[in-house]
Amino acid sequence: MVWAAIVRNWGEFQSLQVSLSLRPGWIVLSALTVFLSYAISVEAWRRILSGWDQHLAYGRAMKVWLVANLGRYIPGKVWSVAGLMVLAQRAGVAPWAAGASAVAIQAVAIGTAVALVAAATPSAASPLRLGAAALVAVATIAVLAWGWAARRIARIMGSTAAFQPLPVAAVAQSAGLGVLAWVAHGVAFWLLARGLGLPDTLSVVTAAGVFPLGYILGLLALFAPGGLGVREVVLIGLLAPALGNGGAVALSVASRILLTVTEVVAPLVVLLVSRAGKEDLSVRT
């Protein structure tokens, strides 16, 4: 599925009728910034786990997070979350904490994305749509942090003795890191535009707001793998005023290719350098 996405998007990129002047140095810098955003996101998830007294070494947490993230390419939005739950349990996280943290980190990602969109590009999306996304994120975190709700969830999961409310401090730390991760993604998006030789009319602030908005709306497209298609439509519509239709399409498709490559390369590198990677992530019967 990942390879099909790369081939499809590369074919579309080659067919673009746009004059581009590729600058490899900027593109490499963009990719490195994307890797930085992944590193920050892993730490944001670890802070959630730490709030529940679940501690994973950073290297192991990165391996789990990056491999689970590949589930985004499977139709439906549950596979990356389910993968995070399963792989976290295999890494030693308590089952209830693995499941709750997978949900919590998604809520943090959505909430921080909405906050950044509202701050950087307040007129880019309907306030009602942004408000609805923010409400879902806040409500999810509130349920996990509220003692009574946490106990109710524990009863449903059959582990009333283990389940604990999520400390607000852990949420705040994770959210702060989540904002930094989105900013890094936005900067990478802006660097990629420079790497394609597009007109210097896209500001880094606009890029930082447009990119997470594409993520939010792509996430709402339940049957689009990785938000495929939906994200591009959103980005093109928002980028056209600054880059023109051709430039907006070129940046949107190039961003999809870059993200797909980084989302594959990152876990492969981590697995290759990890001596215990094969044993930790193998299927257990």
Q: What is the structure's pLDDT at 43?
A: 96
Percent of the chain with pLDDT over 90: 27
Can you give the three-state secondary structure of the chain, one letter per residue? Answer: CHHHHHHHHHHHHHCCCCCCCCCHHHHHHHHHHHHHHHHHHHHHHHHHHHHCCCCCCHHHHHHHHHHHHHHHHCCCCCHHHHHHHHHHHHCCCCHHHHHHHHHHHHHHHHHHHHHHHHHHCCCCCCHHHHHHHHHHHHHHHHHHHCHHHHHHHHHHHCCCCCCCCCCHHHHHHHHHHHHHHHHHHHHHHHHHHHHCCCCCCCCHHHHHHHHHHHHHHHHHCCCCHHHCCHHHHHHHHHHHHHHHHHHHHHHHHHHHHHHHHHHHHHHHHHHHHCCCHHHHHCCCC
Where in the chain are the domains? 34-281
Q: What is the structure's pLDDT at 111?
A: 86
Whether 47 has a pLDDT exceeding 90, the answer reads yes
> Is the pTM above the cut of 0.85?
no
Whether 76 has a pLDDT exceeding 70, the answer reads no
Instruction: Point out the least confidently predicted range of 62-66, 125-129, 182-186, 214-218.
Output: 125-129
Instruction: Point out the least confidently predicted range of 78-92, 97-111, 221-235, 256-270.
Output: 221-235
Whether 195 has a pLDDT exceeding 90, the answer reads yes
Instruction: Point out the least confidently predicted range of 134-138, 173-177, 189-193.
Output: 134-138
Count of other CB atoms within 10 angstroms of residue 105:
23
Integer Cα distance of 162 and 121 in angstroms? 42
Return all residues near 68 (Cβ < 8 A) that are at least 6 apart.
80, 81, 83, 84, 87
Is residue 280 very low, low, confident or very high in pLDDT (cuts 50, 70, 90)?
A: very low
Whether 281 has a pLDDT exceeding 60, the answer reads no
Integer Cα distance of 62 and 38 in angstroms? 8
Q: How many residues does the chain have?
A: 285
Q: What is the structure's pLDDT at 147?
A: 65
- The chain-wide mean pLDDT, for the chain, equals 80
Integer Cα distance of 277 and 74 in angstroms? 23
pLDDT, tens digit, for every residue of 124-152? 666 666 677 677 777 777 777 766 666 66
Q: What is the structure's pLDDT at 285?
A: 36
pLDDT, tens digit, for every residue of 6-38? 677 666 665 666 667 889 999 999 999 999 999
Q: What is the structure's pLDDT at 46?
A: 96
